[in-house]
Amino acid sequence: MNQRRDFVKKGLAGLALGGLSLSSAQAMPKVVKSKEDPFRLAIAGYTFVHFKLDEALEMMRKTDVHHLCIKDFHLPMNSTDEEIKAFHQKLKESDVKGYAVGPIYAKSKESVDQAFDYAKRVGVDLIVGVPNLDLLPYVESKVKEYNIRYAIHNHGPDIDLFPNAESIHKEIKNMDARMGICFDMGHNFRDKQDSVADMGKYHKRIFDIHLKNVTAAEKAGKTCELGRGLIDIPAFVAMMRKVKYDGACSLEYEKDMKDPLAGIAESVGYFRGVLDASK
């Protein structure tokens, strides 16, 4: 966008030097700012599993990302209201907003209760969860009780429970509309699924995206920098725009996790470059 402004300024200067008055130049069509996308870039908290909150926020500041999916190693589920308030204040000082919590695994009704109580006290309207299959009716009842959306995370071929978007959708398609999917596009691809097509197919139930790319469409595939994997990111962006996705694209960077800043920065830059180039 800055390059576009510079181009326009230089063009007007050239017209003036060439004998065309500024008033004439101003009569030319104006450059119209591109419409902003409804979705927003975020970072999944698991990216920072080896870092304290202050260190994580510093990396977010350096890469100019302002939304975070909160993990419980940064804000424990048994945090007091005072600790939650202090946590939000620290995020605010870094111009970051926590928009969801999770992923949170649920193996009992008590753990489901704890997740919804936690989300309510944290003040978010979205839980990213991995519940046992038999708990889905109970999760749905809590969604209705709390009016908090619940997005089930798919984890590829690593575990049998919810390996891909289809496996989630078939279980929730007849449930409350607030039961949805946290679409891990990388794990979905590792399970030999078409993540671009699945974004289009299941978009009405996709509440959150774990934005990533991977090296192979198989279990051995590894997370890599966003522009270096096999998923066609420009095509994925085009699909998000086509279906008018309006949630978070939460970068989950799992390569070099003890020294991730360079990879995060490259991935963020690539994603923003794709957005700008395709507007």
pLDDT tens figures, 199-215: 999 999 999 999 999 99
Pair 28, 58 in one domain: no
DSSP-based three-state secondary structure for 156: helix
**H or E segment to which residue 207 belongs:** strand 206-211
| Residues 64-91, mean pLDDT to the nearest whole number | 98
Pair 21, 139 in one domain: no
**Residue 86 backbone dihedrals phi, psi, to 5 degrees:** -65, -35
Pair 187, 50 in one domain: yes
Spatial CA neighbour of 65 closest among 251, 253, 279, 227: 251
Of the pLDDT bands very low, low, confident and very high (cuts 50, 70, 90), residue 11 is: very low
Predicted pLDDT of residue 64:
98
Averaged pLDDT of the chain: 90
Tokens at 224, concatenated: 């890599």
Pair 43, 83 in one domain: yes
Pair 26, 124 in one domain: no
Tokens at 247, concatenated: 């949630």
d(CA 90, CA 108): 32
pLDDT tens figures, 14-34: 333 333 333 333 443 443 445
Pair 14, 95 in one domain: no
